[in-house]
Structure 1
Amino acid sequence: MFSEEKLESLVDRFEMLESRMASGAEADTYVELSREYSELQPLIASIRAYRAARAELEDIDAMLADRSTDKELREIAEAERPELMERIEELAQAIRIGLLPTDVADEKSAIVEVRAGTGGQEAALFAGDLFRMYQRLAEKHGWKVEVLSASEGEAGGYKEIIASFAGRGVFARLKFESGVHRVQRVPATESGGRIHTSAATVAVLPEVEQFDFEIPDTDIRIDTMRASGAGGQHVNTTDSAVRITHLPTGIVVTSSEKSQHQNRARAMQVLRARLYEAEREKRDAARAAARKGQVGSGDRSERIRTYNFPQGRVTDHRINLTLYKLDEILAGEALDEIIDALITEHQAALLAEQDG
């Protein structure tokens, strides 16, 4: 449970932020204050509602304990009490969840990497389906999507695509998408009607600004290459493609758009995200093990979710959730149902750890 002292200190902090914002703080300070204020706001609303409901319960109990309370008032109080008790428990649960330790990266934008795994051309087509699913989810939430690099499949889809999904709290909603996604369907090229199984991997990384995570120039080697188009033809006559190698870790990132300056910026953006995520994993060994198991190698057997086209179902194997809404999920409309269930399960696990 939680202590009244803890709740009181949070309310005091919230009221102090309110006061400082109202007193005309400087622009930079105001931005910081308002960010913390908006993060605390839902929790403070739950605390105030919880306290009001507790006070109401005390009034009802006092009325029921008073022998002079007339019969009609007593009946009303007795009828209201169970409903009020239920509301108090709901608010207490909301407070417990609000007090859970948060991932510092949750409020950040995200870099989403989708790669074709087992299954050849069909895997590349499925990687394309997954990326479009995330694009549609982004449209629904008002996030901005920018493709940073893409390698198209021979028959469509993507061998690999990396994109920035910008918006507040994107990482919190997408981080559980990391892992191997498996598809079962009859490919368009399959004349015998046989169901094929393919896979694609998804990695979701928190996007970080340069001031969040600086990379010394001495730690990187930048190589420029001539960008090639279809059939080996040069896209242009300048050396525009950029490959950045992070020397301490050996991580290599490439970008091959038309502008060399833009390529360098995009490659650094992806490199920062990968290094930041690696640092977060070092600090949390348990999380590192979980992510390694989720992302895997792209093999069919290592899966977090299966998309079964013949049966029109999607199953998330981590929480044993099956929804017969395959089209709505791939359209980005019903994906939130799975994400919400994963977040709820994660919160329940954290609460169980605290209570234990």
Structure 2
Amino acid sequence: MRTAPAREMGGCRVLGQVWGAWRRGPGVRVVAKASGFGTEAGHQLRPRGSSKRSRPLGDQPFPGLLQLENLGRKELVDVLRAAVVDQKGPLVTLNKPPGLPVTGKPGRLTLVSVLPELSQSLGLGDQELQVVQASGKETSGLVLLSSCPQTASRLQKFFIHSRRAQRPTATYCAVTDGIPATSEGKIQAALKLEHIDGIDLRRSGLLCQGCVKLVPSWGLTPQVIPVKSPSRKDFQEGVKRTVSHFRVVATGSGCALVQLQPLTVFPTQLQVHMVLQLCPVLGDHTYSARVGTVLGQRFLLPAESTKSRRQVLDEALLRRLCLTPSKAAQLPLHLHLHCLHLPGMRPREAPMKLLAPLPPYFSRTLQCLGLHQQ
């Protein structure tokens, strides 16, 4: 898999030094790397194209963001082809840039909408790709595709079985505004989707793959709301128990670099869980308003009555990030699907561990905040 050059890695080197200590599924052999981002799957993944060709940066204040409004179908296929980091048998793995929705309203430009063209571009002919695992629109990182329905079904069953066994298969990395009270722990919360004046999670692409069916129509504008002491009736009406593991990797400038492993699947689960820790993900313009501050002390505001707004950062943090308030309003979500654990494709094959480099803007943020190993 592609390894980011030293000039792009910056503060990211810390991740490789500590990643091996993180929880992982049984049978997965992990060797810590000093550089932090690579792949142990019994082979080295090779990039399909250079980073310059894969990300049209222009004069963006946040390098690596996808300007979807400036792309046509052909240009998007070129971007995705350049983002492919592995193609082995029926499986295709790519490192999705932030800003690209996986699914969306018919007629809109999404990952799924160009899969036929991407299949042709990768030489798969009539074997059209389908999504097996993917992050949401604003989340960057790994997307797993398959051109074989049987393989896709097998992997989806693997993910379902792993969740039932409380065995994590995905690891995200995030930068949070604030530092969790404990360095490691489990976040448990009952969550529900509720209609609130604000954004439409479907239209914004904030729904994770596999959760779209939870929202019955495009006209709704649901947000994720925590439910205290849910009853049996609540669970019958759509409330779900959610669980995530977290671990603080580094701290600096009042922020933290955090590893997150969801054990359940629910829309924007990780963002809501970090808000419940009073540490919203940097660039979370949906839920961060639920964290209030009085005399330097943080507290939760009622989710039902708190409207979404652009994340507000204090002046000291803006200076560290070299951002003006207007640029901070466009700050991308610092949540990246970094690692996936997969079973071997054949009975005797070793399990695979797929890793994706951080986006350039994410690496820049780590440098600006001085996030070094504790």
Provide TM-score, normalisation by structure 1.
Answer: 0.24
Q: Report the structure, 1 or 2, having the larger helix content.
A: 1
Provide TM-score, normalisation by structure 2.
Answer: 0.23
Comparing both chains, which one has the higher relative contact order based on Cα–Cα distances under 8 Å and sequence gaps of 6 or more?
2
